[in-house]
Structure 1
Amino acid sequence: MNVTAWLVEGTWPACVDALRAHAPDGAALTLLHVSDPDVPGVAHGAFAGLLGRARAGHDPGSAVEGMEAESAAGLLAEAAERLGLPCERRAVTGRAERAVVAACRDADLLVLARDGERDRLGPRSLGPASRFVVDHAPCQVLLVWPERAPDVTTLPPEPPEPPQRR
């Protein structure tokens, strides 16, 4: 069995803990981090917008790319240490929702955390990228709360009964 955990800053510990708790013995484990290519792109664009007035060789986009790669590697290392099991570490760049779905091509299970509103139950507990992944993942999905789940009293009230026709 191949199990992938999508790790995002702020919620990754819950994914690692769920991976350790729910992955069967002997499963091939993958820790996945996705970096957004737009962040360094903005810095590259700002540099290019200076129309040659900036000093050559000091493109801040390159520095941002390096910092992003270091951050991803650090997060993956910390997650692997917390997991305490043999695993593959994958850092990819791309649109998160598409990169995660593509990375699950050979996975049997994907673990991800809720990343939206976390103070009540409901569909808004998933952000747009996570919603896309849940809807399009080519494997089973284990969706975890990054902290204790809200109480069931946070459900919205039931809709009123429709009027009966006579």
Structure 2
Amino acid sequence: MAVVVWIAEGTWPACVDAARAHTPADAEIVLLHVTDHEVAATAHAAFAGLLGRGHPERDPGARMANLAAASARRLLAAAADRLGRPCVQLARTGRIEREVVAAADGADLLIVARDGDRTHLGPRSLGPASRFVVDHAPCPVLLVWPATTPGIDTLPSPPPHPPHHE
């Protein structure tokens, strides 16, 4: 069984715990972290536009990319330690939602945490990237709450129905 576990800041412990609880001990687990490519690109563009290109060594884009890569390595290492069994650590850079979907191609399961409104049940419990991933994943998805699941009393009210005429 091949399992991809999306490791994202703030929600990764729940995903790792779900992998430990819901996958066989011999599963091939890939811990995936994706860094948004826009961060370093924005810093580089600001530098190029405001300060020119005369001093590439001062370009904050490269520094931002290096800091992001180091942060991803630390997060993946912490996730691997929490998992406590053999796994592959995969760091990618790009459009987050598309990289997660691409990494799940060929997997038997993708584990994703809700990253939106954590106080209510319902569709707003998914942020835009996780909504895209859930809608486009090429494999089954295990969707977990990153903390305590809200009570059933937080379920949104049903939409009003027009009166039925006969």
| TM-score, normalised by the number of residues in structure 1 | 0.95
Which residue in 2 is equivalent to 1:91?
Answer: 91
Q: 1:53 to 1:86 in 2, by over 3 A?
A: closer
Question: Following TM superposition, by how much is the alpha carbon of 1:138 offset from its aligned partner in structure 2, in angstroms?
Answer: 0.6
Which residue in 1 is equivalent to 2:7?
Answer: 7
Which residue in 1 is equivalent to 2:115?
Answer: 115
Q: 1:32 to 1:164 in 2, by over 3 A?
A: same
CA RMSD for the aligned pairs? 1.4
Aligned 8 A contact 1:47 1:54 in 2: no
Structure 2 alignment gaps of length 5 or more: none
Q: 1:157 to 1:52 in 2, by over 3 A?
A: closer
Structure 1 alignment gaps of length 5 or more: none
Within 5 Å, give how 1:4-153 maps onto structure 2: 4-52=4-52, 55-153=55-153
For 2:156 and 2:137, how far apart are their aligned partners in 1?
A: 28
Aligned residues: 166
Deviation string 1:115-142 (CA, Å, 9 cap, x unpaired) is: 0001000000001111111011110100
For 1:70 and 1:148, how far apart are their aligned partners in 2?
A: 30
Which residue in 1 is equivalent to 2:162?
Answer: 162
Question: Following TM superposition, by how much is the alpha carbon of 1:50 offset from its aligned partner in structure 2, in angstroms?
Answer: 2.9
User: Counterpart of 2:93 in structure 1: which amino acid?
Assistant: T
Q: 1:56 to 1:130 in 2, by over 3 A?
A: closer
For 1:49 and 1:34, how far apart are their aligned partners in 2?
A: 27
Secondary structure at the counterpart of residue 47 of structure 1: helix
* Identity across the alignment (%): 61
Deviates more, 1:139-148 or 1:53-62: 53-62
User: Counterpart of 1:99 in structure 2: which amino acid?
Assistant: E
User: Counterpart of 1:59 in structure 2: which amino acid?
Assistant: D
For 2:161 and 2:94, how far apart are their aligned partners in 1?
A: 46
Q: 1:61 to 1:144 in 2, by over 3 A?
A: same
